[in-house]
Structure 1
Amino acid sequence: MKRKDIWKELDLPPPPKKAAKATASPRSKLDQGRQETAQQALRLNCTKTIQLALSTLPSSDKPQPVDAEDDEHEDTTSTAEAIERELYSHHQSIAGQEYRTAARTLVASLKRNVELRQRVLKGAVSPKQLVSMDSRELATQQQREEYTRLQERETRRVTLAGHGSSATSEYQCERCRGRSCDYLDSGRRDIGKCETWGSKDCQGASRLVICLGCGHRWEVDDV
């Protein structure tokens, strides 16, 4: 039997329906809990890895006394925790892919860069400054010099290309023994010949050779 609509019979509007309560399903709560647990584990592992990087000693260093090792362990642990907190905050409190990539870069830099590691442990570089450093600032002195050398080499290549230079392997650099060179040909007045023969139009061919490896340059006459 069909139920009558009493509100329709009374010619009255029906009362508003109660809004359904938004409740999270048990499954979504479980997934959220697992995600938070995974992030906490990731952050803890990151802190331990940073602490190990800060504790890296040069191979020539001798083992320290037990008390000194304990003090250093406490220092590196607290510093590692501070670095991880700043790293987490720097990436909007999300332990995602960018956070993991930055952590790996930071750990690798601390392991190989003794000078940077010491500055961090002595407080000369704060955790906030450390996590804001770019790859050039994290690099060792040797890496920075190599980067500068490559930049200068590229600048020379572009400059020489703009002046019509040519690449060659005909010459060997006496400084680095490399054969990757560029050269520029130009007319050059041979003063000795002109004085001997009394001519003002005597010209000798001169070639400027530039080593692309180390930047050494030299002239080759009468080419």
Structure 2
Amino acid sequence: MDVREVKTIITNLEKTKDTKTIVQLLGILKEKVRATEHFLRLTKVGVAVNKLRSNADPEVSSLVKKIIKHWKEEVSKEKKDKHHKQDKAHVVHSSTTKQTEEEVKAAKEAEADGISVKTNGTTSQHAGFVTSKTRTPANDGIKVNFYENTTRNGSISGLYTALAIGSTVQPKDIVIVAKSIEERTFDCYDGKVSDKYRNKMRSLIMNLRNKKNPELREKVLNGELRPEKFVVMNSQELAPESLKKLVADLHQKNLFDAQGAVQKRAVTDRFVCGRCKKREVSYYQMQTRSADEPLTTFCTCENCGNRWKFC
């Protein structure tokens, strides 16, 4: 979650008085904000959230305390890790002063290129690939001309560039994944470079390039999401997790609000509100799933406004 998105949520928190909306917004912040000292200072999100600590609703105040505690722990861990890295760098620096100037230069160049180098009889292997250039097949020294068809080769190049965004995975591993995705897509359209093939490739590349969806690139690269499954996913399945959660929240809200003009709400004392423990609950039932499934019961506490549902 970037600075602009956090500031938008802060603005909504300051404007809304609805408890359910406040809880939803706090839940998004708790799940999506990666708390670093710099980020918290920049957005002032900690100050905004802490203002709700004294909220009259116990659910809100409790959630605020958990969020603040979690963020403090993350910042503390960040500082410890920083000190640890500094100490480690100091030890490495002390040991390398014994090397000749040529050996040190060679080691640094090898680290930048992500390759192995022998120094004083020892081998240093760097798993990550680090470069100052934008990662593309050409800049990474990778050839993608696997086929005579330029469209297929261009698709692999586009997939490679999208998968490599923000990644330190070795070029040879990325190109294997990119080629596999292109092959599966090609097979899905009867082994032809058709308009459907081109449109599908554009869609896959655009979703992989989405800056708000790094989880998708990571899952594809680490093998958690296999190419054969990835190429048949629809736009809803490819969407960022934050958008999926937002859509799910809106869907649930719409279910509660989707009461017809003649919808009758019965009041009963059979249900107990989980928030205020009162037995003044109105309810109605709707068929939200297939016809052979039981009705969904929607409940609203007449005392505090708390709402819930069950099947």
Relative contact order higher in (CA < 8 Å, ≥ 6 apart): 1
TM-score by length of 2: 0.35
The alignment's TM-score, normalised by the length of structure 1, stands at: 0.48
Larger Rg: 1
